[in-house]
Structures are given as structure tokens and as C-alpha cells.
Amino acid sequence: MAVGGVRYCKQHNRPSEKETLIMKILGISGSQRPDETSGVHMLVRTVLENTGCDYELVSLRGKNISGCSACLGCVEDNVCKIRDDAEPLRARILAADAYVIGAPNFFSTLNATTHAFLERWYQFRHQTADALWGKLAVVVGVGGDDGAPAAGPIEMFMLYSFIETVAKVTGQGAACCFTCGYGETCDVGAIRMMHGPDFKITPETTPSVAKQPDVMQAAADAGKLLGQRLTTGHDRAEVTKKVQKMMMDLFASST
Ligand SMILES: Cc1cc2nc3c(=O)[nH]c(=O)nc-3n(C[C@H](O)[C@H](O)[C@H](O)COP(=O)(O)O)c2cc1C
């Protein structure tokens, strides 16, 4: 199915429906690791596969995406003027009914690649532009220790566009100290911090989200929930109202 020049992968087991009813989900993996070794990529893919909806999974790996430059060039027309690899993603963001967005935890927040990509969603916000309002999302975070510090800020980005996060999925991946070559001896690395001295790096002791059945189940459940929410009377106006209230409450409590 082509929407705005974008081709969405069709699920083989879909019932035949009018194309206009098919829900489209855009998945974003913000990891810079190869897709095969990225926990973020694996969880985002698992969520998508369980939605029963059409989806496209885009990896930000190797993409050249700068953050918002605050040039305000998007104020009149809601189109970002920075020419880089975020530009071709604009049509996909607009065409999607929902998002599955994942990032690794870098220094107790989401990594810069995903942050830069999400900053560019500023282009959709001006003059009461409602292109994203009331859409749905699942957010994913993976950390060598904890994925939650990456997932939380992604949910916040979604709130700014009045998008409801229906589920957060977090898991533990392998910190780079497992593969840097010095992990067992480095006094300040993640391995000493998490496991103390005398820890041996082996394939068995190296974390992976694939080895965490509860995390994989949470990803599958999140996908099913997102699919259900999208296909059973998703009312964007109602979701918008709910999320706008959440935002107002959030700002009111911080002032
Ligand atoms: C620069 C850098 C900083 C990191 N900081 C943290 C951190 O503060 N907390 C944490 O739990 N993991 C941290 N990690 C580990 C990653 O979150 C972990 O390797 C995760 O599996 C990456 O996800 P991916 O496999 O999808 O790339 C860091 C990794 C890098 C490269």
C-alpha cells in the first residue's frame, strides 16, 4: 500500500479490508548498533509484528540527522527546512496512524540520534497544526542497566504532539563493556559497576533482551494492545482531549 509515496509492508495474515481502513504504524529504532545485535531493534520489531497492522520499521543507524536548530523556518508551513536524512521521514511520520519508537539509554537518557530525530517533530506543532494529535504510540527503551531512562523522555516527546503512549517496554541489553575487550578488568566500566570484580564475560553472562522472556512478552503484549486500540474505534479527537489534559495537568503541577 502506498501512502504519500511510502510503501508499507503488508502482513500476510491480514483479512482483506478496504485499504482506507488499514492502520499503518511507523516503527523507529534509534540504535546505532547493527540491527541484528540491537536490543532496541529487536523489541521495536517484536511490538510491530504483534500489532496485526501494516507497518514499516526504519532504523536511524548511520543516518545523518541533526537536532532542531530553532531557526523557526517551519513556523509558517510546518515543514522543517533542514536538509538531511530526517527529511524523507516526514511523509512517513504524517502518514502513520501510530508509532513504535525505541532508543538506547545513553548516560541515563535517550541517545542523541533519537533525541535529534524527535526534536525535528517541532515542525508539526505550529499554529494549532493537528497532524499528529490523537495518534497512538508504544515506546521502547534498552539500557546496559535499565531502559526506562530512555523510554521516559520518548513518552514526553509524544505528549508534546498530543500522542498517547499506550505502553512502554524496557529491557536490558549488553553494555559495550561486554565487547570492548577490557570489560573484565576496567575499574570504571559497567561490568564492575553492575557485577563487581571477578565477573567473567561469556555468551551466557552477556545480556540480551531475547533472553528476558518477560520483556519479550511485554513487547508482544504492547503490540497487541496497540493493534487493538487502533482497530477498535480509535477516536483521535477523544485521545487528543485526554492527552491535552494530561499535558495541562503536568505543566500546572510544575508551576
Ligand atoms: C555512550 C554510551 C552510554 C551509555 N550509557 C548508559 C547508561 O547510562 N545506562 C545504561 O543502562 N546503559 C548505558 N549504555 C549501554 C546501552 O544502553 C546498551 O548497550 C544498550 O544495549 C544499547 O541498546 P542497543 O543494543 O539497541 O544498541 C551506554 C552505551 C553507550 C554507547
Q: How far is the CA of 156 from the centre of ligand 1 (A)?
A: 20
Domain boundaries along the sequence of the chain = 2-173+211-254, 178-207
CATH number of 2-173+211-254: 3.40.50.360
With contact defined as beta carbons under 8 Å apart, do 17 and 53 qualify? no
Residue 125 confidence class, pLDDT cut points 50, 70, 90? very high
For residue 57, give the C-alpha cell: 520499521
With contact defined as beta carbons under 8 Å apart, do 44 and 216 qualify? no
Comparing 244 with 253, the larger pLDDT belongs to 244
For residue 83, give every residue at least 6 positions away whose Cβ sits within 8 Å of its Cβ, in sequence order, or none. Answer: none
Cα–Cα separations (whole angstroms), residue 109 to 6, 23, 105, 190, 212: 31, 31, 5, 16, 22
Substitution site in 110, 176, 186, 195 for ligand 1 pocket (most atoms within 8 Å of beta carbon): 176
Residue 251 has pLDDT above 60, yes or no: yes
- Residue 175 in contact with ligand 1 by CB distance below 6 A: yes
What average pLDDT score do residues 153-179 get? Answer: 97
- Residue 105 in contact with ligand 1 by CB distance below 6 A: yes
For residue 23, give every residue at least 6 positions away whose Cβ sits within 8 Å of its Cβ, in sequence order, or none. Answer: 51, 53, 54, 97, 98, 227, 230, 231, 234
Q: Residues 199-212: pLDDT tens digits?
A: 999 999 999 999 99
Cα 154 to Cα 141: distance, rounded to the nearest angstrom: 9
With contact defined as beta carbons under 8 Å apart, do 81 and 74 qualify? yes
Provide the whole-model pTM: 0.91
Ligand 1 atom with the shortest distance to the CA of 32: 27
Q: Residues 45-102: pLDDT tens digits?
A: 999 999 999 999 999 999 999 999 999 999 999 999 999 999 999 999 999 999 999 9
Cα 228 to Cα 51: distance, rounded to the nearest angstrom: 8
Comparing 181 with 22, the larger pLDDT belongs to 181
With the C-alpha atoms ordered 79, 82, 87, 93, is the resulting torsion angle positive or negative?
negative
Q: Residues 9-59: pLDDT tens digits?
A: 333 333 344 444 578 999 999 999 999 999 999 999 999 999 999 999 999
In whole numbers, what is the pLDDT of the chain averaged over residues? Answer: 91
